[in-house]
């Protein structure tokens, strides 16, 4: 009765304050996983198979079980497998804290052993993960699952990317489901997720989520987001809590989800080399351009030489800028967009050297605007007086976004 009244009260408050509740994003992924499972055979020994599909990700596990023990083999392919494992899921931004090439096509194979003890199903396993243009890596994982608790730990060993660790915890409590996950890599990157979900009805739930991260790949070193989310769903099972095997038979659904989570951690946390992927990342194009102009404009003014380069979008939807190219007193040749090997070019940036009465140094030149229009990209300018200006090529509008060092 008390729980019913609590649900009704929360629902009423949500409806009443719908206009002021901040919703900063969606905690879930667009591709909802779809799982298929065969029923165990009769007799002492049972053979079971489970397959999972989510977007381009595919996972297949087959197990032989007897007397509370099971031995599984699994294999599959994908680009992250994050949506196949609720305990270890990553958003695009969180994945970019580690490496920008986490979405490379990958293949994996592995094995797992399960046994029952004291109401818990204990799982341990290992998988080998390979991806295009990336070294192979090995992911070790272990987990414990009961009717109201799931714990998972994994360790990833990579030839070039070092070691990564991850832990996930889920609790089913009278006031909802609580989840926590932590992932850390040797590249001084880490991600923490805390969430709570309360079912309000059979198809509606209220959720709160906090995500926090750190990375040297972003200039401020941190990433934080909180989300209040109301969602409708037809839920067949509560994430990792479906234990259909009873007290004497292991449940391969638990094994499959733990294995998928371990592979997902391996793909995200050790997906690239820091030596080959060390450009600073920014959330927006404006931030990437401002950072590089703020650093090079004082040099440009002091030397009375123009500097310029390109702003580009990374595969993880963040933005970076190429290293500044030195020019002359009144021009700089930054080449063509094809000279940028990683990501897709979205804008030019350049400075206008020191003040000179012969030039209109505080404004875009006709040549600047023509080049942006020809390439179909935006443009950024750092002026001798320290103004930071933006040319939007689609509209032709030029605005001053603020000031930079000079």
CATH code of the domain in which 327 resides? 3.40.140
306 and 172 in one domain? Answer: no
What Å distances lie between residue 74 and 50, 256, 258, 393, CA to CA? 9, 8, 12, 51
20-76 per-position pLDDT tens digit: 222 222 333 345 678 888 866 656 678 889 898 877 788 999 999 888 889 999 999
Nearest-angstrom CA–CA distance, 50 and 29: 22
Q: Residue 234 above 50 pLDDT?
A: no
Nearest-angstrom CA–CA distance, 146 and 150: 6
399 and 262 in one domain? Answer: no
Give the pLDDT mean for 227-236.
50
Q: What is the pLDDT of residue 398?
A: 94
Give residue 382's pLDDT band: very low, low, confident or very high (50, 70, 90): very high
Q: Residues 14, 19, 25, 28: is their CA dihedral positive or negative?
A: positive
Burial of 19 from C-beta contacts in 10 A (0-12 / 13-18 / 19+)? exposed
10 inside domain: no
279 inside domain: no
Among residues of the chain, what percentage have pLDDT more than 70?
A: 76
The DSSP symbol for 282 reads: B
Nearest-angstrom CA–CA distance, 79 and 268: 9
Nearest-angstrom CA–CA distance, 138 and 288: 35
12 inside domain: no
Q: What is the pLDDT of residue 21?
A: 29
Q: Residue 232 above 70 pLDDT?
A: no
Cβ atoms of residues 320 and 350 within 8 Å: no
Give the pLDDT mean for 127-142.
85
Domain endpoint, select from 221, 242, 269: 269
6 inside domain: no
What is the reported pTM?
A: 0.65
Q: How long, in residues, is the chain? A: 406
280 inside domain: no
Give residue 293's pLDDT band: very low, low, confident or very high (50, 70, 90): very high
317 inside domain: yes
Nearest-angstrom CA–CA distance, 287 and 319: 8
353 and 229 in one domain? Answer: no
342 inside domain: yes
Q: Residue 208 above 70 pLDDT?
A: yes
Q: Residue 16 above 50 pLDDT?
A: no
323 and 265 in one domain? Answer: no
Give the pLDDT mean for 258-263.
87
Q: How many domains does the chain have?
A: 2
Which residues, including other chains, have CB under 8 Å from residue 280's CB and lie 6 or more apart? 217, 218, 219, 288, 291, 320
Structural domain boundaries, residue 227: 23-269
Q: What is the pLDDT of residue 42?
A: 58
Q: What is the pLDDT of residue 371?
A: 93
Nearest-angstrom CA–CA distance, 105 and 401: 39
355 and 244 in one domain? Answer: no
304 and 187 in one domain? Answer: no
125 and 156 in one domain? Answer: yes
Q: What is the pLDDT of residue 15?
A: 34
Q: Within 10 A of 224 (CB to CB), how many other CB atoms are there? A: 11
107 inside domain: yes
151 and 67 in one domain? Answer: yes
Cβ atoms of residues 251 and 121 within 8 Å: yes
Name the most confidently modeled range: 41-50, 65-74, 142-151, 370-379. Answer: 370-379
Give the pLDDT mean for 4-8.
46
């Amino acid at each position: 009765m008390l729980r019913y009244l609590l649900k009704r009260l929360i629902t009423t408050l949500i409806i009443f304050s719908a206009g002021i509740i901040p919703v900063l994003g969606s905690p879930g992924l667009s591709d909802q996983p779809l799982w298929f499972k065969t029923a165990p055979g009769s007799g002492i020994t049972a053979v079971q198979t489970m397959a999972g599909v989510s977007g381009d990700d595919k996972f297949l596990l087959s197990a032989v079980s007897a007397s509370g023990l099971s031995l599984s083999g699994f294999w599959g392919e994908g680009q992250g497998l994050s949506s196949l494992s609720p305990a270890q899921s990553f958003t695009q931004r969180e994945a970019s804290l580690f490496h920008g090439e986490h979405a490379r096509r990958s293949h994996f194979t592995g094995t797992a052993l399960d046994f029952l003890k004291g109401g818990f199903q204990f799982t341990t396993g290992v998988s080998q993960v390979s991806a295009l243009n990336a070294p192979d890596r090995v992911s070790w994982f272990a987990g414990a699952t009961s009717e109201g608790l799931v714990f998972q730990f994994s360790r990833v060993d990579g030839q070039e990317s070092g070691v990564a660790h991850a832990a996930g915890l889920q609790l089913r409590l009278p006031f909802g489901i609580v989840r926590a996950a932590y992932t850390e890599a040797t590249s001084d990157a880490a991600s923490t997720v805390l969430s709570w979900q309360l079912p309000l009805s059979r198809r509606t739930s209220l959720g709160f989520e906090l995500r926090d991260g750190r990375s040297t790949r972003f200039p401020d070193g941190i990433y934080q987001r909180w989300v209040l989310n109301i969602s409708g769903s037809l839920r067949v099972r509560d994430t990792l809590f479906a234990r259909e095997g009873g007290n004497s038979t292991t449940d391969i659904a638990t094994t499959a989800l733990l294995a998928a989570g371990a592979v997902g951690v391996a793909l995200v946390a050790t997906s690239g080399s820091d030596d080959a992927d060390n450009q600073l990342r920014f959330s927006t194009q404006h931030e990437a351009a401002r950072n590089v102009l703020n650093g090079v404009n004082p040099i440009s003014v002091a030397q009375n030489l123009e500097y310029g380069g390109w702003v580009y979008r990374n595969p993880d939807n963040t933005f970076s800028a190429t290293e500044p190219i030195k020019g002359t007193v009144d021009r700089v040749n930054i080449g063509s967009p094809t000279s940028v090997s990683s990501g897709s070019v979205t804008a030019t940036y350049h400075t206008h050297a020191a003040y000179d009465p012969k030039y209109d140094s505080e404004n875009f030149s006709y040549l600047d605007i023509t080049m942006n229009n020809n390439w179909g990209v935006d443009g950024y300018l750092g002026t001798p007086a320290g103004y930071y200006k933006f040319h939007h090529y689609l509209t032709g509008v030029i605005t001053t976004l603020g000031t930079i060092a000079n």
